[in-house]
Amino acid sequence: GNSVTQMEGPVTLSEEAFLTINCTYTATGYPSLFWYVQYPGEGLQLLLKATKADDKGSNKGFEATYRKETTSFHLEKGSVQVSDSAVYFCAPRRDSGTYKYIFGTGTRLKVLA
C-alpha cells in the first residue's frame, strides 16, 4: 500500500530564510502528490499538487516537483514569512478506487520575525 515519510519537525526559521521540507513516498502505480497546510486552529487547505512525473506544483511562493526516480515531493520556499507558520502535510493520493489520501505525520514550521 501507499505510505509517506516526512521530515521530523518542528522546523524553526528566521523570516526570509529558505525552506525545505522533505517528503518521500512508496506507492503502487503513479499516485498524484499533494501538500496540504494546516494553520493554527484551522482545517486542511490544499497548498499545491502534481499529478505526474516531473510536474512542478506551485502556490504562494511554495514549490514541489514530482520526482518519480527518487519517489520524492520535497516542499520548498525561497523566503518564508511569519504567516507561513503552520503544519505542512505531504499526501500521496491513490489514483484509483476511492482516491483516498495517505497523509504524512506533518511538519510544524515556525517562522520567527
Partner 1 sequence: EPEVTQTPSHQVTQMGQEVILRCVPISNHLYFYWYRQILGQKVEFLVSFYNNEISEKSEIFDDQFSVERPDGSNFTLKIRSTKLEDSAMYFCASSDVWPTYEQYFGPGTRLTVT
Give least dist CB 47 to partner 1, A: 12
* Phi, psi dihedrals of residue 78, rounded to the nearest 5°: -75, -30
3 is a contact residue toward partner 1 (CB under 8 A): no
95 is a contact residue toward partner 1 (CB under 8 A): yes
The binding track of 47-66 with respect to partner 1, each residue x by CB under 8 A or -, is --x-----------------
Of the residues 28, 29, 40, 42, which one makes contact with partner 1 according to CB under 8 A: 42
Q: Tell me which stretch binds partner 1 (CB under 8 A): 11-19, 23-31, 42-50, 63-71.
A: 42-50
Cβ proximity to partner 1: between 30 and 103 the closer is: 103
31 is a contact residue toward partner 1 (CB under 8 A): no
Cα 64–chain centre separation: 7
Of the residues 14, 45, 59, 81, which one makes contact with partner 1 according to CB under 8 A: 45
**In angstroms, rounded to a whole number, what is the distance separating the alpha carbons of residues 87 and 111?**
12
DSSP letters spanning the chain: --EEEE--S-EEEETT--EEE-EEEE-SS--EEEEEEE-TT--EEEEEEE-STT-EEEETTEEEE-BTTTTB--EEESS--GGG-EEEEEEEE-SSTT--B-----EEEEEE-
Q: Which residues of the shown chain bind partner 1 in the complex (CB under 8 A)? A: 36, 42-46, 49, 89, 91, 93, 95, 97-106
